[in-house]
Amino acid sequence: MPVFEARDIVKTYPGVRALDGVSFDLRPGEVHAVVGENGAGKSTLIHVLSGVTLPESGILLLDGRPVVFPSPHEAARHGIGVVFQELSLVEDLSIAENLFVGRQPAGRLGLIDRRALRRQAAALLSEFRWNVDPETPVRELRSAQRQVVEILKALSLGPRVLILDEPTSSLAAREKGLLFNCLRRLRREGRSIVYISHRLAEVFEIADRVTVLRDGRRVDTRRASDLAEGDLVRLMVGRELSDVYGTRLHALGAERLRLVDGRRRGAFAGITLSVRRGEIVGLAGLAGAGRTELGRALFGAEPLDEGTIILDGATLRIRTPGDAIRAGIAYLTESRKEDGLFLELTLRENCAAPRLGDFCGRFGLLDDGAITRFAESCRKSHRIASPGVQAPVASLSGGNQQKVLLAMWLGIRPRVLIADEPTRGVDVGARSEICQMLRGLAANGTAILLISSDLPELLGLSDRIVVLRGGRLAGEFQGSQATEEAILACAAGVTEGAAA
């Protein structure tokens, strides 16, 4: 008997049938992956299973008995734990307080037992071999570390059913390995796991069965061992996809960007690297290696303390993002919702945001017609699925939001693009389109610095891969020497030095 089951679930939103008679079952001690393109219905299914929303029709069964979850609290009371893609941590609270928020251990007089809280938090942190003070405020953590806290928070409830939505989106290889070891242990203990991911390699690594959703309907459920990746892609998108990453067909030009002895206190030091016109240089490393910090420094978001930036032979002084934009340097942030997009503004307003000065007419007034025409051209050329340019960006799927972010920065016609996790949280179809956009940009002479925790993506797109470890350059790989094993070994300090 399935431990948890959804039968004929229907859920609609204005103008959208998000789930159309979807059935899904979860067996004891099973990892069941749910995959599909953005907008396929995965998030809505999670919301129904976890009590965030009620379906219009259909039923949920727990141990064969019908249940209704009017709230996430009620679902949790029945043993349903969930880690949403959008984190729910309180930044001003400590790691320990976030892990046990609302259920802190109490001592005499009902006061919080701080020692017990710290001890229980330390025990959870040891699951990820994370040597950090449980009293550390969450606001001081990096994105990957916050993801770990969110996962441990769900595990602390001891759920019978654990639902994970893109749990590795911010994790490097080491953290992902620890998570998968934890999931395998839970499976051996008889716990059941719903696993949602756009990273198909992870699905085949961890899942027992796979359910494919497309356009709000269940397409098929199969054993993962009976599927090849190509089969799964065809089920998801309903068509064949060509090579996702493509191949460089153009010759590389002269050096475009060079950083000499770059340093930012507490993040990285002694970094010297270069990118040529039309070249894609990948930046690899474990969480905390300094990759994102380096990208933000080159863009002026967190300026260099020391070092020299040279663009097309001229030395630049970049102290703010405005300086970088004027020089033709664009930065595609890893967190589009936090500091990349204006979510409540329209697609039209977001596309024009980095270059409003280009749309000024007489007397400094904005030319609304020109902005609309530009946004419409972005929507068409980037294949952004939207009702129109007046649609709020918050209403778009994750993949389409990422395309808007890319359109924003391509609009300034950058000489250099720093792309930090450009395909995070997008489906395989959108991933292919974004990779082709990057290829096209490079073919037109743009130098691209690609930061990604997805090693197949780095290997598939990069002409060279530079590895950071502990804020220092640890190695450089190109051609046949660039393999997942070699890069991971260099990033972890197993091997030393650069590969020529």
Task: Tell me the CATH number at 337.
Answer: 3.40.50.300
Quick check: is 263 in a domain? yes
pLDDT at residue 439, rounded to an integer = 93
For residue 245, tell me if it sits in a domain: no
299 and 225 assigned to the same domain: no
Same domain, 268 and 228: no
Tokens 């059935």 correspond to 23
For residue 332, give its domain range: 255-492
Determine what percent of the chain is predicted with pLDDT higher than 90.
Answer: 48
Pair type for strands 4-13 and 57-62: antiparallel
Q: Are 161 and 191 in contact (CB under 8 A)?
A: yes
SS (H, E, C) 131-173: CCCCCCEHHHCCHHHHHHHHHHHHHCCCCCEEEEECCCCCCCH
Among the residue ranges 33-37, 113-117, 186-190, 235-239, the one predicted with the least confidence is: 235-239
> Does residue 429 lie in a domain region?
yes
pLDDT category at 112 given cuts 50, 70, 90 is confident
CB contact at 8 A, 31 and 167: no
Provide the percentage of residues in the chain whose pLDDT is more than 70.
98
Considering only residues 167 and 308, tell me which one the structure prediction assigns the higher pLDDT.
Answer: 308
Q: Is residue 356 over pLDDT 90?
A: no
Q: Which residues contact 2 (CB under 8 A, 6 or more apart)?
A: 25, 26, 27, 61, 64
Same domain, 296 and 262: yes
Same domain? For 442 and 350 the reply is yes
Residue-wise DSSP of 415-449: SEEEEESTTTT--HHHHHHHHHHHHHHHHTT-EEE
Instruction: Please state, in angstroms and rounded to a whole number, the distance separating the CA atoms of residues 483 and 477.
Output: 8
| pLDDT for the residue 496 | 57
Q: Are 81 and 159 in contact (CB under 8 A)?
A: yes
Asked if residue 433 and residue 404 are part of one domain, the reply reads yes
Residue 248, CB-side half-sphere exposure with 13 Å CA sphere: 23
Number of domains into which the chain is organized: 2
217 and 146 assigned to the same domain: yes
Residue 174 lies in a domain: yes
Residues 442 and 476 in one domain: yes
Comparing 240 with 161, the larger pLDDT belongs to 161
pLDDT value, residue 241: 56
Boundary (domain end) residue, out of 206, 237, 268? 237
Sign of the CA dihedral with 195 first, then 492, 334, and 438 last: negative
- Is the per-residue pLDDT at 498 higher than 70? no
Looking at the fold, whether 277 and 397 belong to one and the same domain comes out as yes
Mean pLDDT, the chain, integer: 88
Token digits for 462? 């990069």
179-238: pLDDT as tens digits: 888 889 889 989 999 999 888 889 999 999 999 998 899 999 999 999 988 888 888 877
Same domain, 222 and 266: no
Residues 80/67, Cβ–Cβ less than 8 Å: no
Q: Is residue 80 part of a domain?
A: yes
**pLDDT tens digits, residue range 53-85?**
999 999 999 999 999 999 998 999 999 999 887
Q: Are residues 401 and 319 in the same domain?
A: yes
**484 located within any domain:** yes
pLDDT of residue 500: 40
In a domain, 244, yes or no: no
Residue that finishes a domain, picked among 184, 207, 237: 237
Tell whether 247 is covered by a domain. Answer: no
Residue 169 reports pLDDT greater than 80: no
53 & 180 share domain: yes
What pLDDT shows up at residue 376? Answer: 92
Which residues are 80's β-sheet partners? 161
- pLDDT given for residue 239 in this prediction: 62
The predicted model gives 425-433 an average pLDDT of 78
Domain limit, last residue, from 210, 237, 264 = 237
The pLDDT score that the predictor gives to residue 284 is 92
Does 497 score more than 70 pLDDT? no
Assess whether 390 and 336 both reside in one domain: yes
